[in-house]
Structure 1
Amino acid sequence: MSVEGQRVAVIGGGTMGVGIAYVAALAGYGVHVAEPDEARAAAMLRTIEETLDGAVARGKLAAEAKFTALARVSRVALIEEMPEGLDVVVESVPERLELKRDVLARAAARSPTLLATNTSALSINMLAESVADRGAFIGLHFFNPVWSLKLLEIVVGSATSAETLAAARAFGAAIGKETITVRDVPGFATSRLDFSAALEAMRMLEDGVASAEDIDRAAVLAYRHPVGPLRLSDIVGLDVRLEVARTLEAAHGPRFAPPAILATMVAEGRLGAKSGRGFFDWPNA
């Protein structure tokens, strides 16, 4: 589908926001990124450029297309500086309910056609309470790295309109994603599958079943996972894992209770790749 003239905004310039902005710009959307932190905004633009450079070096992208995509991305400091009436707005801030509610209420005031939250576990219906037009609100769960992983999980709230679902599917197709549609159940489909493996791997490590390296090797070699559950947890962030595990435990009971090792590591500041140390060492963090 042609997206010429269509405009997207991404709220939050962190790991996921960078990826969403990248794929939207590459697809042809004009992209506004709302990020108040100057250092994070600079890092976001640098990451987008470096990722485009990598695509050019691998022959996946023409050199001129890099500059065209870069020119489509602009940064604003505040949500209130985003244009009104955007085609799609995707909120991608940390997984804290009150923070997301505040951000979504401010985004809704800009009257986008489609307003989405990028969340892996928070209730779409609960988040929708801060949005005036709940029919135009939906969940879009992206996966990291956004530019590599093809899946987009669309989460439909009780008030989400059929038109909004169709628009979300069209947006997913335009940015090169395969979509699945799920209803608003805590953990949706993908997070419940993912956490079942990740939390069990942590318990195995606690029990001394095997080393972190060998637990991950088992998942990669026996089941052809691209990366093991412990290394993936480091990449996602152990603090994020802990927050989501607690959310799933509250909804589904003790099978999703976070292992003691996870809570201890987060308390010690061992958050995974972003802190330089988690289940593995990340010297270049």
Structure 2
Amino acid sequence: MRELEAVETVGVVGAGTMGSGIAQVAAVAGYDVVMRDVKSEFVDRGFDTIRSSLDRKVNSGDLSDDDDADAAVERIEGTTELAELGEADLVVEAAVEEMEIKQDVFADLDDVTDDDVVLATNTSTLSITTIASATERPELVVGVHFMNPVPVMKGVEVVVGEKTDSEVVELAHGFSEALGKETWESDDKPGFVSNRILMPWINEGVRAYDEGVATKEDIDRGMKLGTNVPMGPLELADHIGLDVCLDATETLHEELGDRYTPAYLLKRKVDAGDLGKKTGRGFYEYD
């Protein structure tokens, strides 16, 4: 296994919301980054997202000037070829949240990267152990679950698979901290810490709204004022994406039983294509 001090180039699989965010924070921290997605337009969109995010960082004073933002972008190489991640000293996968796809990616990463390279997954609900089983190095596979949006959120959940080596766990914590994040650790149980608790909270908020307990505004306002959270459950669901919430809840339901049954209104919204901020309409409407 490569030590953290030897990590110079970080590979990122996926240039979507999570992948581009991970690539951004790694580049800002001084790492060279290879960001890969399956189509060039996805890679280009990832760069657009990164540039917009860095511009906001400059305007807010989080980055000192445009030169720092430009330098970060220049440290990122975009590609559609997975083989180009062969130069990486550490790889973080942020592909679609489907087990078969993730296992295919990890089997390919096993082939194209050096045997001592740690392979991390950003999965929010899927088993690290099952993902790792697609490789010949399950002891070098670990979960590093970044929160969305990655450049803003402070936390990273480190998830330990059945065969994950303790030194790999330490590297995952250290790498996350090198990106300016704080970490907590979870065993490889469904939903880990964050989504095992968060998804039922959102799901019950949806049920309360559907059953007429209160207006959506008062449900969110009550939770913000009553529990000091920055967003209520319906507002947060829109922010995450209702399809993402439904997928995570269905995974928890499959693994843990009826207490995680998705709310009917959540399923209806997803079927209608009202997925939250990204589609302009969820529980609320957005410009």
TM-score surpassing 0.5?
yes
Could you say which residue in structure 2 is the equivalent of 1:267?
Answer: 271
Percent of aligned pairs with the same residue? Answer: 39
Q: Which amino acid aligns with 1:182?
A: S
Deviation at 1:5, TM superposition (A): 6.8
What is the aligned counterpart of 1:172 among 170, 176, 186? 176
Normalised by the length of structure 2, the TM-score is: 0.94
SS of aligned partner of 1:67: helix
**CA distance, structure 1, for counterparts of residue 272 and residue 105 of structure 2:** 29
Segments of 5+ residues of structure 2 without an aligned counterpart are none
**CA distance, structure 2, for counterparts of residue 190 and residue 2 of structure 1:** 26
Q: Does 1:247 align with 2:251?
A: yes
Q: Does 1:144 align with 2:148?
A: yes
The answer to whether the Cα contact below 8 Å between 1:4 and 1:29 also exists between their aligned partners in 2 is: no
**CA distance, structure 2, for counterparts of residue 114 and residue 82 of structure 1:** 12
Q: Does 1:118 align with 2:122?
A: yes
Bigger mean CA offset, 49-58 vs 23-32: 49-58
SS of aligned partner of 1:209: coil
Q: Across the two proteins, how many residue pairs are aligned to each other?
A: 282
Equivalent residue runs for 1:1-285 within 5 Å: 6-63=8-65, 64-84=67-87, 86-111=88-113, 113-283=117-287
The answer to whether the Cα contact below 8 Å between 1:3 and 1:28 also exists between their aligned partners in 2 is: no
Q: Which amino acid aligns with 1:235?
A: H
Bigger mean CA offset, 61-70 vs 173-182: 61-70
Normalised by the length of structure 1, the TM-score is: 0.95
SS of aligned partner of 1:139: strand
**CA distance, structure 2, for counterparts of residue 213 and residue 282 of structure 1:** 15
Bigger mean CA offset, 55-64 vs 250-259: 55-64
The two structures, once aligned, show a CA RMSD in angstroms of: 1.6
Q: Which amino acid aligns with 2:208?
A: M
Moved over 6 A (4+): 1-5
**CA distance, structure 1, for counterparts of residue 228 and residue 113 of structure 2:** 44
Cα displacement string for residues 125-145 of structure 1 (whole angstroms, at most 9, x for unaligned residues): 111111110111001111001
SS of aligned partner of 2:86: coil
Cα displacement string for residues 206-230 of structure 1 (whole angstroms, at most 9, x for unaligned residues): 1011121211111112111111111
Segments of 5+ residues of structure 1 without an aligned counterpart are none
**CA distance, structure 1, for counterparts of residue 43 and residue 164 of structure 2:** 32
